[in-house]
Homo-oligomer: A and B are copies of this chain.
Amino acid sequence: MKRDLPTLALYAQVKDHISRKIQDGTWPPGHRLPSEHELVAQFGMARMTVNRALRELVEQGRIVRVAGVGSFVAENKPQSTLLQIANIASEIRQRGHDYRCEMLAVERIAASPDVAAWLDLRAGDSVFHSACLHLENDTPVQLEERYVNPQVVPEYLEQDFSAMPPSEYLVRNVPFDQIEHVVDAVLPNAEQAERLAMEVTDPCLLLTRRTWTRNTPVTWVRCLHPASRYSLGSRFKADGNPSFG
């Protein structure tokens, strides 16, 4: 599965070393990492080599550097691109609105064939399932139906999702390295329409997301949004560094 047998470049080895410490939690967000000088001593390489590794980590959003101060593990990234979508709670709060999450289900079930396929399991295998409704100022804006791979997140069912919604829990505790989004327009069924306090004839945005960690599926989630209350947006600047907003 691993590419690059012919030995990694030195700067890449440093990147790997640091990335690993961040991914496995040894260096949590905000943690100060060794200075270039220290890394040079530790690895026995030239400063330019260490510098390149760190520069590329900055550019990947993994660390933040401040001249004259030091280098730090980046705060849990709102991520680069479509991933802001991941956190509807903070998005709502940034608008200055009230956010609330109603849990509708948290359970262990047998995987149906399609769920099994999505999560790379066998039909009938045990999977975790949760459903919840996200509300903005007490108006439903998202109905979230989620399946979680129990081999990756065995403690999922024991979480107190009233304190932290499922998506935030997973983002914080199961860093993923691969993500897939599909956006569809659909009409809600009767039950969904009722939960979302909308008509069955009004269209919805359906955002389906899958995430992986080291090529193992973590979660498969479908987020249903009343289109009248929610749309997806992104903005790019191609010059300089890509900046979002």
Q: Would you mind naming 27 contact pairs between A and B with Cβ atoms under 8 Å apart?
A: A59-B59, A60-B238, A79-B238, A81-B81, A82-B234, A177-B237, A178-B235, A178-B236, A178-B237, A178-B239, A179-B238, A180-B234, A180-B235, A180-B236, A181-B232, A181-B233, A182-B231, A182-B233, A183-B183, A183-B205, A184-B205, A185-B185, A185-B227, A186-B227, A187-B203, A203-B203, A203-B204
Query: A40: shortest Cβ distance to chain B, in Å?
Result: 17
Is A201 located at the chain interface by the 8 A CB criterion?
yes
Most buried by B among A59, A185, A203, A204: A185
Decide: A231 near B184, CB < 8 A? Known: A203-B203, A204-B203, A236-B81: yes
| Number of copies of this kind of chain in the complex | 2
CA distance A3 to B232 in the complex (A): 30
Is A10 located at the chain interface by the 8 A CB criterion?
no
Most buried by B among A203, A206, A225: A203
CA distance A245 to B201 in the complex (A): 33
Is A176 located at the chain interface by the 8 A CB criterion?
yes
Is A48 located at the chain interface by the 8 A CB criterion?
yes
CA distance A179 to B59 in the complex (A): 21
The bracket for how many chain A residues form the interface is 35 or more
Assess the A236–B179 pair: CB atoms within 8 A. yes
CA distance A37 to B40 in the complex (A): 29
CA distance A227 to B242 in the complex (A): 30
**Interface members, chain A 191-213 (any B CB < 8 Å):** 201-206
A187: which B residues are within 8 A, CB to CB? 201-203
